Amino acid sequence: MILVSIGAPQELELNSISESSKEQNQKYVSYNITCRDGKAKTLKIKINNKWIETPLFIPGHSFRGKNGNPYFWEKTVIGPLEFEKIDVSAIMVNAYDLRNLINDTPIHQLLGFEGVVYIDSGGYQYLSKKIIPNPEKIMNIQEKSNADIIVPLDRPIPRKPTEEQIRLSIQDTLKNNLLWQERFGERVLPVIHGTELKHLVNQMEELSEPKIVGIGSLVPQFMYTSRKKTISLISSFTSLYPDIYLHAFGVSYSLSSLLFLIGVDSVDSTSWIHNSRFGSMRLPYQGPRSVALRTKSVSRHKSLTRNEWESFKCSCPICSYQDRDKVWEMLMSWKALGFRTRSIHNVFVNLELANEIKEKICSNSLKSYINEVISKTSLSYLLKDDKLRQEIFQLV
């Protein structure tokens, strides 16, 4: 794809809090804004002398589970078949998974991956196991990993939070952001939380207006409070900070399609793994569909038939493989080969969504794309309100 520049994009160099880190990590992260359409934009970002382009889906890679997640960035052998690799520029791992793995092996070597590696704190995993996370231990794990981008330990906002819970989430997360920045400088992707615009703006000011930042706790707000309010919140934030590199943590396929349109630059998710584990495949612009059914209670997703699978066009290494009968048999399997086969398809669909939106932004065809494609998804009701449509997307 050819990137079209808007005016003369200027490379933005980031500032760090620690003077020693500033000297060590000079120009560690910089980026150009290459295209705009409405509120959406594309970035070309240099991180540790590696390049990524946005909008970007960053697959979350987990080392947990007996089957192991496929290393889809390499040629993959599943059962009797070998599948081509998928191009991916960034991966997200977390410190919880690596607590017993890292030792002296850098994460790039552990993964056999040369692209950009983000490492999350794993705070959610620690808390789900009822383990109180130790910031110092987490930072040590992240430092040993030698990952390119480091995410501080945050305190997510719970479902239907009280004012006190929101305050504590912001307070504790901000404290850790500053602690991480002092140690890691420009390698840090700060995390901010909030249910109101003032919450997010106050944290940006406390962090000295960083040029890269990630927003957490979006999914609980989106699912359990007001979807329109959550989308409007992010839209208002990107209006105030139109040029920052903005990441959204733990975002689903459907929600990411909307966030990219209102100025979010990258998202991460492990839903491609979870859907596969429960026997489901992700269809482009649709919800997951169950292909491996053992009992009716296994999955809440509608089943996918062989004819339906044959009818939709997918160029992933799985769906484009010549031996259709064998691939379909593998997709339906509950064994490790079924899990891995579905996973490769699912991650490809997520990556392609970001690539397609990137092309639409740079060809100034986002309006028709929203009308023709996004309006057919489960979130289409958000586009039917003309006032909200204009406010959020800056498109008539």
pLDDT at site 8:
34
- Looking at the domain assignment, is residue 345 inside a domain? no
Place of tokens 């995410």: 151
Dist. CA 224–CA 218, nearest whole Å: 10
Q: What is the pLDDT of residues 98-141, one digit of tens each?
A: 887 767 789 999 999 999 999 999 988 888 888 889 999 999 99
Residue 299 covered by a domain: no
Question: Could you tell me the two tokens for 334?
Answer: 């509950």
Residue 304: both structure tokens together: 């996918």
Full residue range of the structural domain in which residue 118 is found: 54-272+350-393
Residue 171 lies in a domain: yes
DSSP string, 175-227: HHHHHHHHHHGGGB--EE--SSHHHHHHHHHHTT--SEEEE-SHHHHHHHS-H
Residue 64: predicted pLDDT: 66
Say what the pLDDT of residue 86 is.
95
SS (H, E, C) 24-89: HCCCCEEEEEEEEECCEEEEEEEECCEEEECCEEEEECCCCCCCCCCCCCCCEEECCEEECCCCCC
Q: How far is CA 78 from CA 49, 314, 330, 342, in A?
A: 33, 19, 9, 11
Residue 280, domain member (yes or no):
no
In a domain, 18, yes or no: no
Alpha carbon distances (Å) from 47 to 31, 147, 148: 9, 11, 7
Q: What is the pLDDT of residue 117?
A: 98
Give me the sign of the Cα torsion angle 260, 262, 266, 269: negative
Hey, which residues does 94 pair with through a beta bridge? Answer: 120
Number of domains in the chain: 1
What is the crossing angle of helices 163-184 and 135-145, to 10°?
40
**pLDDT tens for each residue of 11-65:** 454 443 344 444 444 579 999 999 999 899 999 999 999 999 999 999 999 876 5
Is residue 252, in this structure, part of any structural domain at all?
Answer: yes
CATH number, residue 200: 3.20.20.105
pLDDT at 22: 43
For residue 184, being part of any structural domain is answered with yes
Asked if the structure places residue 244 within a domain, the reply is yes
Angle at which helices 197-206 and 227-240 cross, to 10°: 40
pLDDT of residue 395: 53
Cβ partners under 8 Å of residue 130, min gap 6: none
Residues of the chain with pLDDT under 70: 1-26, 64-68, 102, 224, 293-300, 374-379, 382-383, 385, 388, 391-396
